[in-house]
Amino acid sequence: MPRPAAYNWINVGFFTLSPLSALVGVGYYTYRQGLHPGDWASFWFMLCGTGLAINAGFHHYYSHRSYECHWLVQAFYLLFGAAAIQNSALVWASNHRSHHRFVDQEGDPYNIQKGVFLAHMGWTFYHNPLPPEQRFANVPDLTANRLVMWQHRYYLPLSVGTGLLFPLLLGCIYGRPWGSFFWGGLLRMVLFHHITFLVNSAGHAVGSQPYSVRDSSRDNWWLALLMFGGGYHNFHHAFPGDYRSSVAWYQWDPTKWWIWSLNRIGLTWRLNRTPARSILQARLQREGRKRGEMSDSRSQERKEQCLPSL
């Protein structure tokens, strides 16, 4: 998809002003009222809910269909995914499937080759120029899903209701509705926006490539800490159909633990796991290529050292 020419001024204003609003609102309220444990609890509750809904739901379930799940789990994904205020599951999954199909090329909505800022958030500043029938041609399974289409149709009221009004109501439980609104609603929303954006920018610019060099994707342990395991991006691009974001026991990946735990109680099934042999083969091929590159580099250095000086 060529870079759109028309600015989406609503997105420009929203993603520019929301961080300022969160900074001023949280700072002023906390200065005047202090920080209540309930505000902190609201922040973490909403952050964990939206984080799992986006990474386990919008990403692994709707975008990649790496497992199947009960309609109650889908309802959780759609409601808390709307609270993330990152567009509907239909739009999110369509963009992400285009990213995998055209990664690092024209057609990649957040192509890192066009710069870190565009990959991070600049891509949201432009309208998608394609008509709906072309834009959503890559998600026919989702356009046939009544729950997904319901969320897409009512995305705006759902996002405002679950992302901002719901934290306000949570605050009423402990007598600080605005504290919960600022911490669990506004600040959480802004921070999670940029945590997600970092997967598109830092996840394609900084880190290691232990599985594949076919594209720019990178593994980042620190990004995994922020994105509920989603920072192991090189593994994900090498094996996009895997329900896991990582394979080692010590790698932080709450998303795979969530999906696996739901499987234990029958709420998820058909979990797609890449065979261990395929993962090992990818790593060995990558290591062999790295050794070959190092050997070629040393050979070139020796040739240069042997050249007579002029």
- pLDDT tens digits along 110-164: 999 999 999 999 999 999 888 888 999 999 999 999 999 999 999 999 999 999 9
Distance of CA 94 to the CA centre of its chain: 13
Residues 234 and 280 grouped into a single domain: no
Mean of per-residue pLDDT scores for the chain: 92
139 contact partners, CB below 8 Å, separation of at least 6: 90, 93, 94, 97
Is residue 201 one of the residues assigned to a domain? yes
Range of the domain at 298: 276-310
Query: Whole-model pTM?
Result: 0.91
Q: From CA 100, how far away is CA 242, in angstroms rounded?
A: 14
pLDDT-based confidence at residue 83 (cuts at 50, 70, 90): very high
Q: What is the reported pLDDT for 133?
A: 86
Q: What is the reported pLDDT for 307?
A: 43
Q: What is the reported pLDDT for 303?
A: 45
Is residue 281 one of the residues assigned to a domain? yes
Residues 227 and 304 grouped into a single domain: no
Residues 197 and 294 grouped into a single domain: no
Residues 267 and 149 grouped into a single domain: yes
Number of independent structural domains in the chain: 2
Q: What is the reported pLDDT for 308?
A: 46
Above 50 in pLDDT, residue 104?
yes
Is residue 135 one of the residues assigned to a domain? yes
Residues 189 and 306 grouped into a single domain: no
Above 70 in pLDDT, residue 242?
yes
Q: From CA 269, how far away is CA 263, in angstroms rounded?
A: 6
Is residue 1 one of the residues assigned to a domain? no
Residues 43 and 100 grouped into a single domain: yes
Residues 110 and 247 grouped into a single domain: yes
